[in-house]
Structure 1
Amino acid sequence: MADKIRVLLAEDEPSLAFIIKESLETRDFLVSIYGDGEEALAGYRKDSPQILILDVMMPKKDGFTLAKEIRLSDRNTPIIFLTAKSQTSDVVEGFQHGGNDYLKKPFSMEELIVRVHALLNRLELPVNHKEGIAIGQYVFNYTRQSLKFNEEEEQLTHREAEVLLHLYKSRNEVVDKSVLLKELWGDDDFFSGRSLDVFITKLRKKLTKDDKVLIVNSRGYGYKLLC
């Protein structure tokens, strides 16, 4: 039998933490619960979890601060934020601190499980993806979240790396914007669409050294990576 996937859950509401733990463990996950940010950071260092589920509002250390500290040494372990906040600025802040996804409370356990699986599936890349893939004269390393041109290497954010990987998988073909949004953001609403546009703009600027590599719009339908 394969080892169970280790999940670190940082949630200060005991009843919600218990429900999440029970729901995930019936799907063969192994969940460790921590009630505040400081305990969760110590637990992260001890448990080496494969995915993190962090409540934003916690005592001692909030979820954003916790994620920021973890990202100083770990750029790859997926992070899902649980938040009662609904402002777009709060969601953007979560991504800036290294989050891969977020769920607004209240949420269904099935939705959480789907998002956990989606993030874990993105880590299952072919070997050549882990070593680095050629995009024109660039070398894109998804695992390290870096983009190298000759000897010059630039770091990507988590979201930039995810967007670029999805465009690369369908390179020279149009990627439906709504499909991309649902895979990475979980929905295709206006605010998610604006966030995607921002990340596309940032990627375009980072790909300007090779004039044969372009990300183009396709008449409002989606995006195409030409390389």
Structure 2
Amino acid sequence: MKSRNKILLAEDDISLGTILKDYLELKGYDVIWAKDGKSAVELFKEEAFQICILDIMMPVMDGFTAAKQIRKINGKIPFIFLTAKGQHEDIIQGLKLGADDYITKPFDTEELLLRIKNIIKRSGIANPGNEKIKIGKFEFLPSEREIHFDGNNKKLTTKESKLLLLLVENKGQLLSRNYALTKIWGDDNYFNSRSMDVYISKLRNLLKPDSSIKIITHHGEGYTLKIEE
């Protein structure tokens, strides 16, 4: 089964947010919907997304501020701004912040879908779950739960494969410990936490033949996969 690309949608208009979430999920995306900019930033810290769609005018925290904070977490994540008709200054400011695109309300959902597809294709950040992934000198096949190195194939357990995929999706940035536990084990209790430590050790040993690969522990916070170029 092909993995679905995940979209972070930040929109305070309930009607529009509902329409966009339902439409994009119907088109094969996973959509996590935040009703304000602050909630969007918190969600971004906990999960891996392929693209962000941010309304500019939102309560608590506007889209511009949210984009700045998200880019501090992941400088490569693409995003699209939703802006009101005639707000030329918003468009200019959004482009200065590094927005990949903007779309003016009201808009056609098919037009938004086309822009999302183009940006994901152009940026090369499509969900890697159904592809071969290069990890240093290793080749990882998540759908097969296999890792290849120097002509040898190693079959991974389900949890090993899921944990390695989460590390890859968050390469170079913090993978939240609580998020990984909830995502893979279903609960972030003490016993599951100790179990995850064991799996991290297994992955370190598995990847040891390539000294450029490091899984760094941030005590109490999570892990970061780093690959020296």
TM bracket, shorter-chain basis: 0.5 to 0.7
- Matched residue, 2:62: 62
Instruction: Report the alpha carbon displacement of residue 118 of structure 1 after superposing the two structures with TM.
Output: 0.6
SS at match of 1:72: helix
Percent identity at matched positions?
42
Matches of 1:25 and 1:72, distance apart in 2: 28
Establish whether residue 13 from structure 1 lines up as the match of residue 6 from structure 2: no
SS at match of 2:99: coil
Instruction: Report the alpha carbon displacement of residue 86 of structure 1 after superposing the two structures with TM.
Output: 2.2
Establish whether residue 40 from structure 1 lines up as the match of residue 40 from structure 2: yes
Equivalent residues in 2 for 1:1-227 (5 A)? 1-124=1-124
Instruction: Report the alpha carbon displacement of residue 44 of structure 1 after superposing the two structures with TM.
Output: 0.8
Instruction: Report the alpha carbon displacement of residue 70 of structure 1 after superposing the two structures with TM.
Output: 1.3
Equivalent residue pairs, number: 125
Computed over aligned residues only, the root mean square deviation of the Cα atoms, in angstroms, reads 1.3
TM-score, L = length of structure 2:
0.53
- Offset from partner CA, 1:8-42 (integer Å, 9 cap, x none): 00000111001001110111100011101111110
Q: Is this contact kept in 1: 2:85–2:106, CA < 8 A?
A: no
Amino acid at match of 2:38: E
Q: Is this contact kept in 2: 1:7–1:50, CA < 8 A?
A: yes
Query: Which structure's CA Rg is the greater one?
Result: 2
Q: Is this contact kept in 2: 1:68–1:98, CA < 8 A?
A: no
Amino acid at match of 1:111: E
Instruction: Report the alpha carbon displacement of residue 47 of structure 1 after superposing the two structures with TM.
Output: 1.8
SS at match of 1:8: strand
Matches of 2:98 and 2:69, distance apart in 1: 10
Amino acid at match of 1:122: R
SS at match of 2:73: coil
Instruction: Report the alpha carbon displacement of residue 98 of structure 1 after superposing the two structures with TM.
Output: 2.4
- Matched residue, 1:188: none
Matches of 1:87 and 1:24, distance apart in 2: 25
- Offset from partner CA, 1:121-158 (integer Å, 9 cap, x none): 10239xxxxxxxxxxxxxxxxxxxxxxxxxxxxxxxxx
- Offset from partner CA, 1:163-205 (integer Å, 9 cap, x none): xxxxxxxxxxxxxxxxxxxxxxxxxxxxxxxxxxxxxxxxxxx
Matches of 1:32 and 1:24, distance apart in 2: 11
Matches of 2:14 and 2:106, distance apart in 1: 15
Q: Is this contact kept in 1: 2:83–2:102, CA < 8 A?
A: yes
Amino acid at match of 2:105: K
Matches of 1:38 and 1:90, distance apart in 2: 19
Unpaired runs of 5+ in structure 1?
126-227
SS at match of 2:20: helix
4+ residue stretches of structure 1 with deviation over 4 A? none
Matches of 2:124 and 2:49, distance apart in 1: 16
